[in-house]
Structure 1
Amino acid sequence: MALATGFVMVALVGAAHNYGLLLIRWITPGVDRRPQAAIIGVFTGLLVLHSAEIVAFAGAYHLLLQMDWTGSLAANPGEAWRGLIYFSGINFVTLGYTQIDAYGPIRMVAMMQSLGGFMLLTWSATFLYTVCHRAWED
């Protein structure tokens, strides 16, 4: 159940990420007209997008930790919202090397978030690289 929950969460965040990239592309100035503004706009947009994804997972952890079947997190960060954001953020960007241990089935959700974070960061890096490449072409 936890693996399926993590899979669905990553799939939903991945779909939202796709639309986030489309929105960033739409609101960012054209690379041909203002290349430096485009790079900064995309970078800032990606920062906002990834932050929202981290907060969304923190919210999901908060909900999951209210259920008996999911397990727990060490140091009980579920009591503090910023603890869940920290766990989610570090899990998202480091392939799961957090200072907070997950116990029970919630480990599968955390593993899927790590996989999803790696995929989304790679996707975003490719997106930013493409914008930079176009901006820096002679």
Structure 2
Amino acid sequence: MLLAIALSFGLVALSFIFHYRVLLWLSVSSQIKMDKQGKVLFIVFVLFLAHIVEIGFYSFIYNLSVNTFDLGFFKGAPIGGAMNYLYYSGVIYTTLGLGDIHPVGHIRFITAIEALNGFFLITWSASFTFLAMGRLWPWEGQCVSSTDNKD
């Protein structure tokens, strides 16, 4: 159990540091010669890729936890290849939780931590994107609300 706890908190630290560095890089990369809407699209694309990498961190540890450390196994749909671990990790990270694969043993703890971690990182990305859109998106004159249209 201690190994599962150590792996979980190690993954949280790794993903937080990685995500922080990506956000920091995106903040500094505002000097890229691109129109403002292009910058927003660039930010969203990079953040999407960052989440894929973070899901990959967890899928790698699931593979190690099952095949090397013997911390548990998965029941339900067959899981054996790298894509299956990536699929499972993506389902957990996004808190989708389809339930077609069930962790058994100490990997359940890693699964629970990944769901919380993924939720946190996704909301961090959403708030960063919201702030970037507030700076970069041309809101002026784009929408007319019902209160603005006083005939």
Q: How does 1:85-100 map to 2 (within 5 A)?
A: 85-94=86-95, 96-100=97-101
Distance of aligned partners of 1:134 and 1:98 in 2 relative to their CA distance in 1, 3 Å threshold: farther
Distance of aligned partners of 1:102 and 1:48 in 2 relative to their CA distance in 1, 3 Å threshold: same
**In the aligned structure 2, how far is the partner of 1:45 from the partner of 1:57?**
19
**In the aligned structure 2, how far is the partner of 1:113 from the partner of 1:60?**
11
For structure 1, which runs of at least 5 residues remain unmatched after alignment?
Answer: none
Paired position in structure 2 for 1:84: 85
Q: With the length of structure 2 as denominator, give the TM-score of the two structures.
A: 0.80
CA distances 1:14-51 after superposition (whole Å, capped 9, x unpaired) = 111100111223335569x7210111010000011001
Cα contact 1:58–1:85 (8 A) shared by 2: yes
Match of 1:7 among 9, 14, 17: 9
Paired position in structure 2 for 1:117: 118
Cα contact 1:70–1:105 (8 A) shared by 2: yes
Cα contact 1:61–1:84 (8 A) shared by 2: yes
For structure 2, which runs of at least 5 residues remain unmatched after alignment?
Answer: 141-151
**In the aligned structure 2, how far is the partner of 1:8 from the partner of 1:68?**
15
Cα contact 1:93–1:118 (8 A) shared by 2: yes
Cα contact 2:72–2:107 (8 A) shared by 1: yes
Distance of aligned partners of 1:98 and 1:133 in 2 relative to their CA distance in 1, 3 Å threshold: farther
**In the aligned structure 1, how far is the partner of 2:6 from the partner of 2:28?**
33
Paired position in structure 2 for 1:126: 127
Cα offset for 1:5?
2.2
Aligned residues: 136
- Higher Rg of the two aligned structures: 2
Distance of aligned partners of 1:54 and 1:98 in 2 relative to their CA distance in 1, 3 Å threshold: farther
**In the aligned structure 1, how far is the partner of 2:5 from the partner of 2:47?**
27
Distance of aligned partners of 1:46 and 1:120 in 2 relative to their CA distance in 1, 3 Å threshold: same
Match of 2:19 among 17, 20, 28: 17
* Higher share in helix: 1
**In the aligned structure 1, how far is the partner of 2:99 from the partner of 2:13?**
22
Cα offset for 1:61?
0.9
Distance of aligned partners of 1:108 and 1:40 in 2 relative to their CA distance in 1, 3 Å threshold: same
CA distances 1:46-96 after superposition (whole Å, capped 9, x unpaired) = 01100111111111111111235411112341x211100000001000164
